[in-house]
Structures are given as structure tokens and as C-alpha cells.
């Protein structure tokens, strides 16, 4: 059998990692991975899936994939990539919350994507969980031939989670998990080999979902949906004027910008934002 260097690296990292303790997920549904293992996270304060607008195709695909996974069927790892503030992380959390109503044993565990040691511990600690687990890696990217990348590859192939039920959902501002580099058109063979490693990792995500900046129409649709949901006492004209002014001062139109506007507006109107 051909010797696979990635499997040897993963095995070495697993041997170096101390025994993981406290990997019991029975106490809740949402967790953050800490040096001591999974710590139960509080209730998410993000918008429900019904209020995530402008991402209907992405929403439908991730929901379907997650439902299949929670039901024990085949499902893909998912890479949500694109412009910042466009709802990638919010969608993962909202999809988990939505599917929980149908599959109450579905777990979501957020692990630090740039901490190699913590990531390896999480992969080891979650591999034999009886419940289906979504490992959530936020803002995943690699500047160089990173050790975290080598640890993650076998997990995406199923090497580190044998015997368990684990799927990886990651967000990134970069489509291929790495910034474009001027050397990509050069003859630097070492750099090209490293770039191929990055692309090979991205290819292991079977589901790619792209997120793009909103136009004004899409931004205002989100603003109006929030206004209707929270029943804030403001006229449609004043709402639109203030929302556009806020977006101009931020030089951005996104779901995140719309939410930040509503936090400010609710504060000025002395209203609570409770979903």
C-alpha cells in the first residue's frame, strides 16, 4: 500500500495530543471547543432562518444537506465562501437551529480554525460521538503550508472521524481558502506545490456556496423585513432614509450592516431586539 504522508502527519499529531476529556455532548446542542473540551454555548442571538434574505439558493442547499446528514444519510462537507458580512456564519447557525426541530440530537460545535492543536483535539474528541455533529470552522484560511491544513485534510476524507458522525461546515472570505498571490504566474515550483495543497483541501468540500455583496434593493429588503418583524415605530420613508445613510457611512451593504443599523435604531427607540 502506498504510504500517504498526510495520514502519517495526522497520526503523529494525534499521538502528540494529550487525551481529550469532557467530549460529552449530551448536555446541550451548541458548543464551543475549548482547551478542556466542548463547552456548552448559550442560545444564539442571530436571526432565524426566515429572516435571512437574499440567500435563498444557499439556504435551500445547506438545509437539504443538513437534513440528510441529521437523518443518517450521505451528506457533503460544506464551504461557504464570499464577501464579508453576507450571512455565511449566520446561515450555518440558523440552519442548525431549524433542523433541530426535526432532529433534536443534532450538535453544532464551533472550533478555532487557526489553532492547529485545538483543531486536532476537536477532531479526535468528536470522532466517536453517537449523535450527528456539525464541526463549524469560522473564517477558515491559510497563508502558507499550514499544519492545520494537513490536520484537516484526513478529517474531510473521513480518516479521523471513523466510527462517528461528523460533517465539517466552514466559512471563508476566499473561494479556495488562500489569497491570490503574484507568484501564481511564476515558475516557483515550491509555491505552486503549496497552492495545489490549498486547492486540494478546498476540493474536499463537496458543497460550495458562494455569497456576494448586496445591491441596494436587496439591502432594503432585509431592512424592511427586520422592521416588520420587530414592529419598530418608524415610517417607511424614514426607515429607508436612515438605512441608506447608515450603509453609506459604513461603505457597505450587507446583512451584517442591516443588523448593525437595527441595533442602533432599536437603541435610539428604546426597544429590545428579541427574535
Q: What is the pLDDT of residues 26-82, one digit of tens each?
A: 889 999 988 788 888 876 667 889 999 999 999 999 999 999 999 999 999 999 999
Angstrom distances, CA of residue 115 to CA of 159, 197, 274 = 20, 19, 33
What global pTM score does this model have? 0.81
If asked whether residues 139 and 201 sit together in one domain, one would say yes
Look at residue 193 in the predicted model and tell me its pLDDT: 52
Look at residue 237 in the predicted model and tell me its pLDDT: 96
- Of the candidates 189, 211, 233, which is a domain's last residue? 211
If asked whether residues 146 and 247 sit together in one domain, one would say no
If asked whether residues 222 and 201 sit together in one domain, one would say no
If asked whether residues 151 and 75 sit together in one domain, one would say yes
If asked whether residues 203 and 242 sit together in one domain, one would say no
Q: Is residue 275 part of a domain?
A: no
Q: Indicate which CATH number applies to the domain containing 207.
A: 3.40.50.300
Q: Is residue 273 part of a domain?
A: no
If asked whether residues 184 and 165 sit together in one domain, one would say yes
Look at residue 162 in the predicted model and tell me its pLDDT: 43
Q: Is residue 195 part of a domain?
A: yes
Q: Is residue 140 part of a domain?
A: yes
If asked whether residues 169 and 237 sit together in one domain, one would say no
Can you state the angle between helices 88-100 and 56-70, rounded to 10 degrees? Answer: 40
User: CA-to-CA distance for 239 and 229, rounded, in angstroms?
Assistant: 14
Q: How many CB atoms lie within 10 A of CB 259?
A: 20
Q: Is residue 40 part of a domain?
A: yes
Q: Is residue 156 part of a domain?
A: yes
- Of the candidates 176, 193, 211, which is a domain's last residue? 211
How many folded domains does the chain comprise? 2
If asked whether residues 134 and 17 sit together in one domain, one would say yes
* Residue among 252, 227, 222, 251 nearest 238 (CA): 227
Look at residue 219 in the predicted model and tell me its pLDDT: 95
If asked whether residues 18 and 113 sit together in one domain, one would say yes
If asked whether residues 15 and 81 sit together in one domain, one would say yes
If asked whether residues 196 and 119 sit together in one domain, one would say yes
If asked whether residues 260 and 190 sit together in one domain, one would say no
pLDDT under 70: residue ranges of the chain: 1-23, 43-45, 142-151, 158-164, 175-198
Q: CA neighbours within 13 Å on the CB side: how many for 81? A: 14
Q: Is residue 148 part of a domain?
A: yes
- Of the candidates 175, 192, 211, which is a domain's last residue? 211
The C-alpha cell 473540551 sits at 37
Q: 89 — alpha (psi -120 to 50), left (phi > 0) or beta?
A: alpha
Structural domain of residue 130, as residue ranges?
A: 5-211
Look at residue 94 in the predicted model and tell me its pLDDT: 95
Look at residue 268 in the predicted model and tell me its pLDDT: 94
Amino acid at each position: 500500500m502506498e504510504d500517504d504522508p498526510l495520514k502519517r502527519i495526522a497520526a503523529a499529531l494525534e499521538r502528540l495530543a494529550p487525551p481529550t476529556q469532557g467530549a460529552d455532548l449530551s448536555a446541550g446542542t451548541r458548543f464551543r471547543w475549548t482547551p478542556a473540551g466542548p463547552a456548552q454555548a448559550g442560545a444564539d442571538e442571530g436571526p432565524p432562518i426566515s429572516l435571512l434574505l437574499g440567500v435563498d439558493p444557499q439556504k435551500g442547499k445547506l438545509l437539504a444537506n443538513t437534513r440528510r446528514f441529521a437523518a443518517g444519510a450521505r451528506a457533503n462537507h460544506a464551504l461557504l465562501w464570499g464577501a464579508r458580512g453576507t450571512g455565511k456564519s449566520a446561515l450555518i447557525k440558523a440552519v442548525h437551529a431549524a433542523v433541530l426541530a426535526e432532529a433534536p440530537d443534532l450538535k453544532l460545535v464551533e472550533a478555532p480554525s487557526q489553532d492547529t492543536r485545538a483543531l486536532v483535539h476537536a477532531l479526535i474528541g468528536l470522532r466517536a460521538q453517537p449523535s450527528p455533529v456539525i464541526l463549524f470552522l469560522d473564517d477558515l484560511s491559510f497563508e502558507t503550508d499550514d499544519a492545520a491544513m494537513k490536520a484537516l485534510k484526513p478529517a474531510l476524507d473521513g480518516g479521523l472521524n471513523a466510527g462517528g458522525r461528523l460533517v465539517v461546515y466552514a466559512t471563508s472570505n476566499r473561494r479556495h481558502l488562500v489569497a491570490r498571490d503574484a507568484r501564481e504566474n511564476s515558475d516557483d515550483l515550491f509555491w505552486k506545490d503549496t497552492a495545489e495543497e490549498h486547492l486540494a483541501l478546498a476540493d474536499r468540500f463537496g458543497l460550495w456556496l458562494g455569497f456576494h455583496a448586496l445591491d441596494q434593493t436587496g439591502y432594503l429588503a432585509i431592512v424592511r423585513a427586520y422592521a416588520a418583524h420587530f414592529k419598530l415605530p418608524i415610517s417607511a420613508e424614514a426607515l429607508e432614509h436612515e438605512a441608506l445613510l447608515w450603509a453609506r457611512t459604513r461603505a457597505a451593504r450587507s446583512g451584517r450592516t442591516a443588523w448593525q443599523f437595527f441595533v442602533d435604531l432599536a437603541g435610539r427607540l428604546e426597544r429590545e431586539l428579541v427574535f
